[in-house]
A and B are shown apart, each in its own frame.
Chain A
Amino acid sequence: MKVRLTVVLTLIVALPLVGLGWLGTRVARNERVVVEQRFNALVLDRLRDVDAGIATYLAQRERDLFSLPALSGQTVDQLRAMARESATVRQFFVLSNRNELRYPVSLELVREYASLRNGLDPVPAPSLQQPPSPDEAESRELSITPLTAEETAFLERTHAIWAGKRIPTNDSGESRHVNISTQFKGWYAWYWGDGLNLIFWWRDWRGAVVGAELNPVRLAADIIGALPDSNPESATLADGRISLIDSKGATIYQWGALEPTQDVPPVASLPLRAPLSAWHLQYHAAPNPAGTALGGGVVFNIVSGIVVLGLALMALAVYYHRESSREMREAAQRVSFVNQVSHELKTPLTSIRMYAEMLDGELDGNDEKARRHVGVIVSESQRLSRLIGNVLTFSRKQRSTLKLHRAPGSVDGVIRSVLGHFEPALAAKGIRCAFDADAAQVALFDQDSLEQILGNLLGNVEKYAASGDRVEIHSRQGDGMVSITVADNGPGIPPRERNRVFMPFYRISNRLTDGVTGAGIGLAIARDLARLHGGDLTLEPAEKGACFRVVIHAPVAGTNGEQT
């Protein structure tokens, strides 16, 4: 009983908590997904800002180059001086209006062009003394002179571009061609040596296509200079790590407090916009940024909700448990009190009964009134004895000292004796007794216990079935068992109460118990005694009234090893 209550209470507390915990986890997980998405969007925005910063740097280079005097109007020496003095440009170049290189140009290259033309439009190889093709107005300013080492290196690097070959512009080997005839300006990226090289070309105001090859090392240095450093206050996302990665996967520059481990993939990755699209930005996040930085509040809310609810439920359970156990305790105290009192009452009551029965025998037959009075004394003292007997039995059971004293006797005899005691009281309430005896064989059983069982059953009839008009008792004997049914035709017991009537201190309802006294332990004790007897007390289905069936193990005396 107590264990079951504890289990039920535990479940009452635990189930909602588990449910809430599960829901909470789901909510937290969803929240985290949302937060992570938001976080990733934020990271991408930030990376886009970085990309935009780099693009701004390139736009500044464009403006610087536009502000130069028209390159096609410069002499070779001037162009050399410009390249020599420029920190960001490695080499300038000028194309002719046939989009062929006019500066820097080597004799070999000019001859190569001529042979490519396949004699269709023969161009005489220019000499040092003689400026080439007078049909090009601006060509006078540029003449073929011995190349400097820088110019030679430039031609070597860019040879494939001027020879019209397709040049891979990124790692996947894609190639593209710049349409110089329609465009006004553009970037051109190609690979040479250790990495990416950039050319910016444009039409100067004289209409010639000119260009500048950026110094790639300086480009990297300037981009690094423009990007944030790792001072915590100087950059957003400073607790992570943003890296600028080149086409070979090598880190050019990185910033942020986090030192990422090798095998952890980046949270976000963004290729730079053209012409640096072979480079990309990576962001490594600090471990679980969503959980600690943003989702922490949700988890905290859920956990605290569960804790608060759990505490409330536990408080309720404890309150309920205390209330129910207080009732039990009070009832037990009542029994305990009655038990003590019963011990005190037992001896005087026995004397009262004995003397009342003696007095009954001594009265002569004429004094009806006195005889009736004595009869009341006897029956009430019997009832009191039963009550005391129940209480004492209950307390013995509580102390596990209840024992049977089997002795040979007749079950029917015991039933008749008990009926004899009850008949006057039942008759006074208008209840007739009918006994169908069929257990006459002498058997081994505890007469006192059986008397107590029957007394409790009949006592209930007397107490509760007064609206009925009769009680029927049947006894059967066989296979070492004795079965006795006690059936009344009173109000009966509602089906949902059928099990509970056997619980100690249980009363069916106020309606039934109104004006009825008793400790509420009669049926419980009767069943305990029957079970102690190797049988049981059950409530049998009946059309009207209540029908109790007592089965006890009562082997017929004298048969085979049944002497106990």
Chain B
Amino acid sequence: MNTTKTRRNLSVHGLLMLAAALLGAVSAQGAQVGLDVAMGSDSVLANAKQTAYLRVAMTGHEFRDTSARVPVNVAIVLDKSGSMSGEKLAKAKDAAIMVIERLRPDDIVSVVAYDSVVTVLVPATKASDQAGIFAAIRSVWAGNNTALFAGVSKGAAEIRKFLERGRVNRIILLSDGLANEGPSSPGELAELGASLIKEGVSVTTIGLGLDYNEDLMAALARKSDGNHMFVEKPEDLASAFGREFGNVMSVVAGNVNVAVTCEPGVRPVRALGREVSVAGQNVHAVLNQLYGGQTKYILLEVELEPGTVGTRTPVATVELSYLDMATKTTESLRGAVAVTATDSQALVTAGENREVMEAIVYQISAERNELAMRLRDEGKIEEGKRVLKENLKYLESNGAIDTSWYRDNGSVLLEMDQGGAEWGKIRKNMIKGQYQIKQQSAP
């Protein structure tokens, strides 16, 4: 995001902008990761319960040695159901071959193809024997059903053969259809994803065409902290795979654990965007990795007890631990944040942290976008439109007019009446957009 733009736009209530944006926030800097803990505003109104937002932002720093990268352990899981036959499967094979060509000999790769049954085409192996791998990939032809769950399970089993925290462990799942064999609900796939991330395995899901279940694919990716992509045309598969491998190869930190401990009198309400687990005053979140040059954050909504004017109250402490992929050591960073109670709304506004406010705006607009989609799913088109209009106004009032996210919301509003495949395509784009905002994943 562009700093000038945010400076220009983020005057939430159109009031004064003062300096000291980071006042009261604590930043910490590790070798590979920067931690920034900040509140939406440094000040809150006193003498009343207040809802406030706390952002824990983690930025991955690119390796100094630009040629260095973390060894990867990738399982490519390809759909070879009947609907993939022809160009789709051919392009998918080409894309897989293209990205495997970029691997180094010490990387691990496995290739799994599934229809109603699963075939491990390339059991997990060093990427050195490329000719053999390519021959196995080229031998695939399309079959019957879509045992997606089994495909991912087998991919995970291959990953597990060389599972180590010092590698980027990634399943790249391609599917163009509905899972119809084995566990097939978004909830079940989400649970699988949630289980895999505990081992340090992420699943990136690439939905191809207009027939896949975007809820399922997004849920699997979200719970395992992978990426989710929507590829409408087979010819775009190569670039999608390429982007994903770019992501995989830019990982600088793994096993990122964030523990937020709220001070007494601060009640964690919920998280916006990325999911967290809340237990009492403790909030915990896991990110499987941080990419070089990217910032990921956890955004918490907290409820503050009434404060007295002029007192500065600690809100939370943050402990971040991660595995430095360059040194293979576990590093930890600490941060803390506090707010000052005031009786002046102007001071509250003046104390706003623009980056945090921007994150809040985007997360809330993503939630509204999702709400509009759910309403449309239930057939409540007009209500959905109303939510989208409000969302557009909300974005406008916060100065996000130029962004693609604003344009996406606008075009969805125009096409809410569409049905069938057209709506399916819009919906897939909506899910993708929501995913990118919620997970802060690269487009």
* Closest chain A residue, CB of each to CB of B121: A231
- Which residues of chain A are near B118, meaning CB under 8 Å? 224, 229-230, 253, 255
A229 touching B117, Cβ below 8 Å: yes
Instruction: Decide yes or no: A229 and B195 within 8 Å by CB, A148-B278, A252-B182, A252-B183 being known contacts.
Output: no
- Closest approach, in angstroms, between the C-beta of A295 and any C-beta of chain B? 28
A226 partner, pick from B120, B143, B157, beta carbons under 8 A: B157
Task: Given A87-B198, A218-B192, A225-B157, answer yes or no on A230-B149 (Cβ-Cβ < 8 Å).
Answer: no
Residues of A within 8 A of B282 (CB): 77
Selected contact of B280 from candidates A86, A145, A252, A255, CB within 8 Å: A145
Which residues of B185-223 have CB atoms within 8 Å of chain A's CB atoms? 185, 188, 191-192, 195-196, 198-199
Q: How many angstroms from the CA of A334 to the CA of B278 in the assembled complex?
A: 122
Type the 1/0 row for A495-518, where 1 means its CB is closer than 8 Å to any CB of B: 000000000000000000000000
B317 to chain A, nearest CB (A): 16
- Near A by CB (< 8 A), chain B positions 51-66 give none
Task: Encode contact with A along B144-173: 1 for CB under 8 Å, 0 otherwise.
Answer: 100101101110110010000000000000
Q: Is the CB of B149 within 8 A of A224?
A: yes
B425 within 8 A of A: no
Known: A229-B154, A231-B119, A255-B118. A224 touches B278 (CB 8 A): no
Which residues of the partner chain B approach A229 to less than 8 Å between Cβ atoms? 112, 117-120, 154
Contact of A230 among B117, B182, B188, B192 (CB under 8 A): B117
B181 at the interface (CB under 8 A from A): yes
A146-B280 in contact (CB<8A): yes
A135 to chain B, nearest CB (A): 27
- Across the interface, which residues of B come within 8 angstroms of A225, CB to CB? 153-154, 156-157, 160
Q: What is the CB-to-nearest-CB distance from B262 to chain A, in angstroms, rounded to a whole number?
A: 13
Q: A42 on the interface (CB 8 Å rule)? A: no
A84: B residues at CB distance < 8 A: 198, 277, 284
Query: B residues within 8 A CB of A77?
Result: 279, 282
Residue contact B188 to A194, C-beta cutoff 8 Å? yes
Residues of A within 8 A of B365 (CB): none
Indicate whether A220 sits within 8 Å of B153 (C-beta atoms), given known contacts A84-B284, A215-B195: yes
Q: Does B116 contact A (CB under 8 A)?
A: yes
CB-contact partner of A85 in B153, B196, B198, under 8 A = B198
Whether A15 sits at the interface, judged by CB under 8 Å, is no
CB distance from B139 to the nearest CB of A (A): 11
Q: Which residues of B contact A221 (CB under 8 A)?
A: 149, 152-153, 156, 192, 195
Q: How far is the CA of A80 from the CA of B278 in the complex (A)?
A: 11
Q: Is the CB of A220 within 8 A of B144?
A: no
Asked if A194 meets B185 with Cβ closer than 8 Å, knowing A85-B198, A217-B195, the reply is yes
Residue of B nearest to A242 (CB): B117
User: Given contacts A146-B280, A148-B277, A221-B152, could you give 8 more A-B pairs where the C-beta distance is less than 8 Å?
Assistant: A84-B277, A85-B198, A88-B195, A217-B188, A220-B149, A225-B153, A225-B156, A254-B147
Residues of B within 8 A of A (CB): 112, 116-120, 143-144, 147, 149-150, 152-154, 156-157, 160, 181-183, 185, 188, 191-192, 195-196, 198-199, 277-280, 282, 284
By Cβ-Cβ distance, the 9 closest A-B pairs, closest first, are A225-B157, A224-B153, A221-B153, A87-B198, A230-B117, A217-B191, A218-B195, A148-B279, A229-B120
Chain A residues proximal to chain B, CB less than 8 Å: 77, 80, 84-88, 145-146, 148-150, 194, 215, 217-218, 220-222, 224-226, 229-231, 234, 241, 250-256, 259
